[in-house]
Amino acid sequence: MKRFVIWVFVLSQIIFCMVYPFLQPLIVYLHSIVIVVTWVCWTTFFLFIALWMRSASIYIPKSFLLSLFACYSIGLIVLLFFRPSSTGGLTINLIPFQTIQFYLSGRVSFLIAFYNLAANIGLFIPVGLWWKASYPSRSKRMNFLFPLVLIISIESVQLLSHSGAWDIDDFILNILGVYIGYMLTPLCQKVIHTH
């Protein structure tokens, strides 16, 4: 089992190194931490899929997972509030799917469009995983309200701090990410056990 995990890890790193040159434009558009976040997500995804396909599980100390979530939270804060390409003014989009259509229109590079759409979903999946794993007995109402309050707060702080726009499409995609995290929690708990 240990040899298998090492093999998958090495393979994921080789593939990441091959893809890395294509990720370089993201540093200019977002922040250099995007490479670290992408690497962590990439590596975690590969290891998780490999373990899941083998019906294997791994034991991870709860303290390590909490430390990992803290690092993720710091990375998320940097990506959300400390971008080199901030809007510089108050920008609000309340028209659903307008920004999504812009990214799908081909007016920006595929990498930037893909990253913006995928990251707005993917970066919030861990929030859903953390919430459901940490508070499994919360009511449906709380599970519904938590991401709404969180993401409205994030969008509002971005707007007021001029570090991003208040965009209904970001809101929709972020909420989708949290809900995907909710749905993936039982699957993750089959693969990852804490002690």
Burial (CB count within 10 angstroms: exposed 0-12, middle 13-18, buried 19+), residue 156: exposed
Distance from C-alpha of 116 to C-alpha of 121, rounded to nearest angstrom: 9
- Per-residue confidence (pLDDT) for residue 25, from 0 to 100: 77
So what's the pLDDT on residue 169?
A: 97
Distance set, CA 48 to CA 2, 52, 53, 183 (Å): 14, 6, 9, 15
Which two tokens mark 53? 């396909």
- Neighbouring CB atoms inside 10 A of 111's CB total 14
- Signed CA dihedral, 127, 130, 134, 137: sign only: positive
Q: What is the pLDDT of residue 28?
A: 72
Q: What are phi and psi of 60, to 5 degrees?
A: -130, 135
* pTM assigned to the model: 0.86
Kindly report the number of other CB atoms within 10 A of residue 119's CB atom.
Answer: 20
Q: Could you tell me how many residues make up the chain?
A: 195
Nearest to 88 by CA among 160, 143, 163: 163
What is the C-alpha to C-alpha distance for residues 12 and 170, in angstroms, rounded to an integer? 29
Alpha-carbon gap, residue 29 to 86, rounded angstroms: 9
- pLDDT of 95 reads 96
pLDDT digits (tens, 9 = 90+) for 125-160: 999 999 999 999 999 999 999 999 999 999 999 988
Q: According to the model, what pLDDT value does residue 89 have?
A: 62
Low-confidence ranges of the chain (pLDDT < 50): none
